Amino acid sequence: MIWLTWRQFRAQALTGLALLAAAATVFLVTGLRMHHSYTAALAACAPLHACDGATPAARALGAQLSQLPRSYEPMLMLLQLLVIAVPAVIGIFWGAPLIGRELETGTHQLAWNQTVTRTRWLAVKLTVVGVAAVTTTAMLSWLLTWWAGPLDNLNGNLWAAMTFASRDIVPLGYAAFAFALGTTLGLLVRRTLPAMAITLAVFIAIQILVPTLIRPHLLPSTATTFPINQASASQFHDFRGTQTEFHFDLPTPRGAWLTSQPPVKNSAGQVVRIDSYPECFPDSQGDAPDLSQIGACLAKYDLHETVTYHPASHYWPLQWMETGIFIVLAGALVGTCFWWIRRRQN
């Protein structure tokens, strides 16, 4: 059965291997160049004790480091899209046809009429192709995580939806789920093209819903409330306002994931308006507002603003939790496949 499965899967496997080799070449050639630029700049910064110092040399090195993310940003976006798309491609082109095509063409009868049981036939197919799917995704995820290391260190943010979904171990969970989803749909729908289309639609929906509705709530977030006064306003980064509400950009720890920043409220918990405090918001004619001055003026009104975030220490727990969720879902789909096969056999 293993040899038969390999013969049926050989074309997809060789195509995937060729594409993986091409992607690895791109990762290595460009990544080695970027890592060299990054480490060389850091080494030059060491004698100066900083890359953002007052000397011209330190400022030049700081500018060189800050230019690195901008130089590689287009390629980073493309490579992240590649890693995120691979599980979907696996589900569409490896999962959906795995059983669906055999049921559609009737070739499954050749195996089912032999001495091999249906459950063993299904188990071998799922194991051979499933291991290949997860291994391929793991290699691409590892390559991207290594490649983007300098950029992630400089940006200090691993929480963006595309970044989190394309780094470390989460792509493995996506690959296992997408493959199991495609296989299950091919088995139930018994038509390859509809199964492929449904697999793609479900995977896209998951990539949209998980970062907004599920991931932020897997662990309790941290909330910090700032009183609006001169002392706290000196820590604020910016000010944004409309006719109905306003808020300050509040500070969060480095590497934190900002999940919520509601507008400024009063002591009763009601959102307040700018026009309620005209003396605190003079017309600056386009100049940047003096946040400390605004904070000092608003201090007597007992206003506050809350920022909610996940600290950097939540990154790996959330990676493991999200990966575990999709592995469990993949296991449930595989169990559905075996249930369906046994039901048909009986």
Q: CA dist 12 to 9, 19, 135, 195, 336, Å?
A: 6, 11, 14, 17, 25
- What would the pLDDT profile of 227-284 be if each residue is shown by its tens digit? 888 888 778 777 777 777 888 888 888 889 999 888 889 888 888 888 888 888 766 5
- Residue 117 is encoded by which pair of tokens? 């049981």
Residue 341 lies in a domain: no
State percent of the chain over pLDDT 70.
86
**Cα three-residue angle 268-271-274, rounded to 5 degrees:** 125
Contact between 307 and 250 (Cβ < 8 Å): yes
- Give the Cα separation of 307 and 271 in Å (integer): 15
Q: Judge whether 1 and 118 are in contact, CB under 8 Å.
A: no
**299 lies in a domain?**
yes
User: Could you list the residue range(s) of the whole structural domain that residue 7 is in?
Assistant: 2-216
**Whether 185 and 274 share a structural domain:** no
Where a domain ends, among 216, 241, 275? 216
Kindly compute the dihedral angle of the four CA atoms of residues 274, 275, 280, 281, in this order, to the nearest 10 degrees.
70
In a domain, 197, yes or no: yes
* Burial zone of 121 (CB within 10 Å; 0-12 exposed, 13-18 middle, 19+ buried): buried
User: Where is the domain boundary, 164, 190, 216?
Assistant: 216
Q: Are residues 14 and 114 in the same domain?
A: yes
> In the numeric block, which tokens belong to residue 26?
């791109």
Question: What angle do helix axes 170-189 and 56-89 make, rounded to 10 degrees?
Answer: 20
Residue 155 and residue 230 in one domain: no
In a domain, 346, yes or no: no
pLDDT value, residue 92: 95
Same domain? 153 vs 291: no
Tokens at 29, concatenated? 């050639």
**Domain boundary, last residue among 161, 181, 216:** 216
Domain assignment of residue 338, yes or no: no
Same domain, 198 and 276: no
DSSP-derived secondary structure for 95-143 = IHHHHHHHHHHTTHHHHHTSSS-HHHHHHHHHHHHHHHHHHHHHHHHHH
CA 177 to mean position of chain CA atoms:
15
Q: Is residue 79 part of a domain?
A: yes
SS3 6: helix
Residue 104, pLDDT score: 76
Please tell me the predicted confidence (pLDDT) of residue 55: 66
Q: Does residue 58 carry a pLDDT above 70?
A: no
Residue 333 is assigned to a structural domain of this protein: no
Residue type, 277: Y
Residue 236 and residue 294 in one domain: yes
Indicate if 241 and 191 belong to the same structural domain. no
- Give CA torsion, residues 273, 275, 277, 282, to 10 deg: 130
Q: Are residues 19 and 44 in the same domain?
A: yes
Answer yes or no: is 334 within a domain. no
**Tally of structural domains, the chain:** 2
Do both 227 and 114 map to the same domain?
no
> Residues 191, 241: one domain?
no
Q: Are 97 and 139 in contact (CB under 8 A)?
A: no
Q: For residues 195 and 292, state if they share a domain.
A: no
- Same-domain pairing of 106 and 156: yes
pLDDT, mean over the chain: 86
In this prediction, residue 88 carries a pLDDT of 96
Per mean pLDDT, which range of 98-112, 123-137, 150-164, 330-344 is the poorest?
98-112
